[in-house]
């Protein structure tokens, strides 16, 4: 089977879904190919940042978003010594319409974007459709080969955008060169049942020498990332279930008996954390964005936001060339020019968090905690907590929805 679209978007993650929705609102014929049958996956974090919240609002999706199950993180307050709490990260001071991080299961956000996309006549989402390689006309990328529910096929496209994440098939097939940076940790990813009366969990890590843990509250259960030293998965698994339970209880004593609901280490998924960036983000007929162009570390929980901003910028810059039917090398290069600085700055900050905080902690080289000098400074000038709040919640060069994509929610304003 062979068919045709104007823009083929490979991967229905945050970058791909935002890009496709905005392009469809510009009247561009766009097809998203997503390899999974649904969005119900756990490995991608749940944080929706103030700039993404503003975007959702501008797209006219706020009432539906606000109705999703979620919790709000307004401040990052750390216990710097027993009983002594200091707010180190403050989102509330940001001049944003929604100055907090919303913790929303990512599948809910992606379903919301898919519903909005399906309302546009030029939007097509094909689930259970795995892209297996690029289709070429001479040297030019002319679409993709895929394996779908009805068997293999080809989708021809004026432009193919790789939004297929850190293990991007598209970028590998295109032979785009990747620059890798070492990361000091990997993650174990698992769930524990949640008690009704449990504490307030935040996305800020719990730290102890040799371990760090991020606990994401979801309805009925806790989604947990236990950070482990890079490359130690096999060695740590070999210590067995008992040692795993002890590790978890050290950082999350309130889990109590709940920890024993994990009865096999098969329930603990290993995530190979990467940080890299493409040197060139495009080739003739193909562009990569989101994690496919720059895999982000979980540090700071900003990867979703950066991917969303990539999607917005790409749609804004390419909607007109796509409508005209001529996308030049210059048009594609403009996307990288717009997005490389925010990405590089964010990755540089993540490398510092990795090098100075998380890496040494998970290797057991130093005790957990925020440096005492920093704590004293923020206690002296509490306003300074807005700086990490801005870097995490807004980031460098935030993007706004283009005018053509904006909508007022049915029934009035947000
Ligand atoms: C352990 C861990 C925790 C994290 N936690 C957070 C967090 O809390 N907050 C945060 O902001 N960021 C977090 N991140 C980073 C974040 O997950 C990514 O930066 C973000 O999801 C990138 O979005 P994306 O759309 O570019 O790619 P992805 O979210 O990876 O989406 C790619 C999509 O492409 C699909 N796909 C892949 N291959 C194919 C193919 N061949 N054909 C068709 N479809 C395909 C996938 O199924 C997927 O739906 C975390 C990362 C890790 C490793």
215-262 tens-digit pLDDT: 877 778 888 999 999 999 999 999 999 999 999 999 998 888 999 999
Return all residues near 10 (Cβ < 8 A) that are at least 6 apart: 16, 33, 131, 144, 160, 161, 162, 163, 164, 168, 169, 170
Supply the residue whose CA is at minimum distance from atom 15 of ligand 1: 303
| Ligand 1 and 187: CB distance under 6 A | yes
pLDDT of 176 strictly over 60:
yes
Angle between helical axes of 50-58 and 303-324 (0-180°, round to 10): 40
**Tokens representing 93?**
């001071």
Supply the residue whose CA is at minimum distance from atom 8 of ligand 1: 45
pLDDT digits 0-9 by tens, 13-71:
999 999 999 999 999 999 999 999 999 876 667 889 999 999 999 999 999 999 998 88
The confidence band for 8, taking pLDDT boundaries of 50, 70 and 90, is very high
| Ligand 1 and 331: CB distance under 6 A | no
| Ligand 1 and 347: CB distance under 6 A | no
pLDDT of 173 strictly over 50:
yes
pLDDT of 369 strictly over 90:
no
Ligand 1: residue of 103, 153, 304 to mutate (most ligand atoms within 8 A of CB) is 304
Q: What's the pLDDT at 81?
A: 75
Which one has a higher pLDDT value, 9 or 412? Answer: 9
How confident is the model over 158-182, as a mean pLDDT? 97
Of 277, 287, 344, the C-alpha closest to 311 is 287
The CA 279 to ligand 1 mean position distance, Å, reads: 20
Q: Which atom of ligand 1 is nearest to the CA of 14?
A: 25
How far is the C-alpha of 412 from the C-alpha of 414, rounded, in Å? 7
| Ligand 1 and 186: CB distance under 6 A | no
| Ligand 1 and 339: CB distance under 6 A | no
| Ligand 1 and 273: CB distance under 6 A | yes
How far is the C-alpha of 63 from the C-alpha of 57, rounded, in Å? 8
pLDDT of 413 strictly over 50:
no
8 A C-beta contact, residue 27 and residue 179: no
| Ligand 1 and 171: CB distance under 6 A | no
The confidence band for 368, taking pLDDT boundaries of 50, 70 and 90, is low
| Ligand 1 and 296: CB distance under 6 A | yes
How confident is the model over 124-149, as a mean pLDDT? 97
Q: What's the pLDDT at 414?
A: 42
Rounded to the nearest integer, the mean pLDDT of the chain is 91
Cα 376 versus chain centre, distance: 32
pLDDT of 199 strictly over 70:
no
Distances 127 to 36, 131, 176, 414 between C-alpha atoms, Å = 6, 11, 26, 30
pTM: 0.93
Q: What's the pLDDT at 382?
A: 86
């Amino acid at each position: 089977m062979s068919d045709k679209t104007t823009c083929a978007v490979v991967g229905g993650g945050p970058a791909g879904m935002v890009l496709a929705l905005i392009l469809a609102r510009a009247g561009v014929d766009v097809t998203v190919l997503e390899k999974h049958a649904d969005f119900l996956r756990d490995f991608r974090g749940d944080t929706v940042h103030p700039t993404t919240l503003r975007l959702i609002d501008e797209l006219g999706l706020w009432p539906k978003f606000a109705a999703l199950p979620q919790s709000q993180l307004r401040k990052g307050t750390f216990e710097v010594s027993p009983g002594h709490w200091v707010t180190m990260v403050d989102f509330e001071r940001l001049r944003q319409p929604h100055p907090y991080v919303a913790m929303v299961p990512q599948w809910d956000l992606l379903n919301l974007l898919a519903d909005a996309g399906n309302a546009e006549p030029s939007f097509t989402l094909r689930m259970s459709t795995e892209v297996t390689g690029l289709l070429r006309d001479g040297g030019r990328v002319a679409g993709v080969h895929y394996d779908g529910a009805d068997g293999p096929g080809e989708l021809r496209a004026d432009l193919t955008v790789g939004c297929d994440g850190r293990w991007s098939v598209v970028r590998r097939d295109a032979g785009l060169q990747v620059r890798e940076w070492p990361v000091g940790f990997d993650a174990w990813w698992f769930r524990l049942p949640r008690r009704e009366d449990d504490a307030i969990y935040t996305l800020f890590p719990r730290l102890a020498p040799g371990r760090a843990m991020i606990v994401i509250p979801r309805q009925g259960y806790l989604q947990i990332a236990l950070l482990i030293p890079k490359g130690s998965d096999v060695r740590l698994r070999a210590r067995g279930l008992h040692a795993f339970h002890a590790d978890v209880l050290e950082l999350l004593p309130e889990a109590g008996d709940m920890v024993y609901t994990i009865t096999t280490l098969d329930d603990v998924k290993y995530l190979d954390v990467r940080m890299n960036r493409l040197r060139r983000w495009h080739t003739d007929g193909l562009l990569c964005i989101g994690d496919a162009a720059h895999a982000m570390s979980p540090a700071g929980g900003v990867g979703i936001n950066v991917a969303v901003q990539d999607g917005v910028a790409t749609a804004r810059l390419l909607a007109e060339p796509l409508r005209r039917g001529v996308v030049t090398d210059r048009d594609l290069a403009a996307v990288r020019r717009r997005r490389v600085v925010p990405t590089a700055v964010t990755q540089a900050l993540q490398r510092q968090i990795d090098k100075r905080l998380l890496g040494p902690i998970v290797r057991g080289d130093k005790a957990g905690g925020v440096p005492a000098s920093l704590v004293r400074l923020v206690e002296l000038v509490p306003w300074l907590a807005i700086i990490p709040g801005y870097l995490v919640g807004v980031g460098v060069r935030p993007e706004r929805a283009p005018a053509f994509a904006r909508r007022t929610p049915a029934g009035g304003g947000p």
